[in-house]
Structure 1
């Protein structure tokens, strides 16, 4: 994988002083544009702007929720996790990974909007470059030209639709 360095200082400044990136994206702010993979009435999946692995997707509730265990009732939690699972299965169908990583990051100090990362580890990645190493932007990010982002989002969207579990909306 041809990783490129990322300006981590600028990223941290943006996450700590800028608007909520998920809410800004959903509001159509061009500075926070992402390529949408799939959405329903309550959730959205979109490509990571700074992917560390091919096909990396972020999944979030559309409502500004900050705590997965405190802010979601049991039904909302189950619906969110079903959405995450279906997106992850689509990522697996398209990327055919050795392993799929699911994790949620963020804090009250930055990236507070609850979101899950769906990251597909390609086969053949040497063990020392798997797991945390593969996920950390400090180890570089993959360039994602706009045309490739559109193509990946289309392929992922088709894979979600082919499963037929989630309904657009």
Structure 2
């Protein structure tokens, strides 16, 4: 997998997320140009590779329904179901990517990317300390240059890890 980075057009990205349609809703609806590599899906949730990853194997997990607040828009059982999916996918990321640490974040706001989604980002084991934590997650520091084939292969490996975890748990 490529570890080369390319710059990210932050102005274009901000304009798109602040004025364009919801990227998760567009993806779930199958809108043209909104495809992502899906790694997990059930009736309520979807998990897919981040289109602009800052670490290898970065995955987003979201409810399919347009929910905007993790706490007040979900009842306790819906919240626990979502967090169960986040954990299941994070364990697959750990099995495949072998990170030093796994970061779990819910980002976005009413001003952009308002659809509730969790970022699962495995910190590569040899990352220097000053390039960890927020630095590792900021697209301002560049995004990984992955080919479609590399993304597809990562998706295959994550789906296989998820399938193995279901067989072991079942």
Assess same fold via TM > 0.5: yes
Gaps of 5+ in 1: none
Q: Tell me the SS of whatever aligns to 1:44.
A: strand
2: CA distance between counterparts of 1:22 and 1:136?
A: 20
Question: What's the counterpart of residue 27 of structure 1?
Answer: 29
Give 1:136 shift.
0.1
Preserved CA contact (<8 Å) 1:49 1:144: no
Question: What's the counterpart of residue 51 of structure 1?
Answer: 53
2: CA distance between counterparts of 1:6 and 1:61?
A: 27
Question: What's the counterpart of residue 85 of structure 2?
Answer: 83
Preserved CA contact (<8 Å) 1:46 1:57: yes
* Deviation string, structure 1 residues 88-146 (Cα, Å, up to 9, x no partner): 00000000000000001000110000000000001111000000000000000001211
Question: Is residue 123 of structure 1 aligned with residue 125 of structure 2?
Answer: yes
Preserved CA contact (<8 Å) 1:37 1:154: yes
1: CA distance between counterparts of 2:143 and 2:32?
A: 21
> TM-score, structure 1 length as denominator?
0.96
Q: Tell me the SS of whatever aligns to 1:31.
A: coil
* Deviation string, structure 1 residues 10-69 (Cα, Å, up to 9, x no partner): 000000011000000111112221110110110000000000000000000001000010
Alignment counterpart, residue 61 of structure 1, candidates 60, 63, 67: 63
Question: What's the counterpart of residue 147 of structure 1?
Answer: 149
Question: What's the counterpart of residue 75 of structure 2?
Answer: 73
Preserved CA contact (<8 Å) 1:104 1:117: yes
2: CA distance between counterparts of 1:20 and 1:131?
A: 27
Q: Tell me the SS of whatever aligns to 2:11.
A: helix
> TM-score, structure 2 length as denominator?
0.95
1: CA distance between counterparts of 2:28 and 2:84?
A: 21
Question: What's the counterpart of residue 20 of structure 2?
Answer: 18
